[in-house]
Amino acid sequence: MVRRRHELPRPGRPRERPARLYDSLGTVYEQLPGDQELLVEYKLFEPAFYATDLADWGSALLACQKLGDRARVLIDLGHHAQGVNIEQIVALLDGEGRLGGFHFNNRKYADDDLIVGSVNPWELFLIFFELAEGGLPRLTIDQAHNVEAKVEAMVLSVVNLQEAYAKALLVDRDALRGAQQEGDVLGGHEVLLDAFRTDVRPLCARARAAVGAAEDPVAAHRASGYAQRIASERESHQEITT
């Protein structure tokens, strides 16, 4: 039976919606085992543009504060308005002990889920600089590739993350702190640029080899024939089932 328009349930008013959200999250939070945490993600848009209950890091942080100490904010790099200083959000949440983790990707405009570091490697470097200051939280990748080969794109994303982290570890923090204290903005910027411009690819390749991984993971994946083998197996399975 199809309801008439006037019979459809009315959405909650703006003041009622947060209370319902906190109540539902609180029910989940209370059931968590003591060694687990609840990560609250946010997004500027979806499922709506004009009435999204967790539209930014502030609304997610507020929800976490209401839930308890084991609730933390999850950052997705594609879930912000244009021009947002994500590394500052990282620093603020980490300083409050509420940084729960990351969904790494990249975007040109909205939540494009591109290869991480493919659009804005400088931003990725600055994020890892802040993470290196406070300790790495949960790092995950949230990408949906429609043009690139999916596995290769994911492998390249991991490589880009490793290189951004390596560059962040190379920052001369004493020199940066000195420039900041003297109000030397350009000098501080140059300290960061020195690390960012360093070619860390050979270093990262040696680090991978030291733990038994491939120096060039993308080339190794291609040489393995994995993608072709899996595609062939799927075709054979489809023929059998049909």
Q: What is the pLDDT of residues 132-143, one digit of tens each?
A: 988 889 999 999
CA 147 – CA 107 distance, rounded (Å): 14
Tell me the CATH number for domain 1-150.
3.20.20.150
Cα separations in angstroms, 201 against 125, 191, 197, 204, 237: 14, 20, 11, 5, 40
Q: What is the pLDDT of residues 146-158, one digit of tens each?
A: 888 999 999 999 9
Domain borders along the chain are: 1-150
Look up the pTM and report it.
Answer: 0.88
Residue ranges of the chain whose pLDDT lies below 50: 1-9
E-state strands within the chain: 38-41, 71-76, 99-104, 138-141
Edge to edge, what strands does the sheet with 138-141 contain? 38-41, 71-76, 99-104, 138-141
Half-sphere exposure (CA, 13 Å, Cβ side) for 8? 6
CA 67 – CA 29 distance, rounded (Å): 7
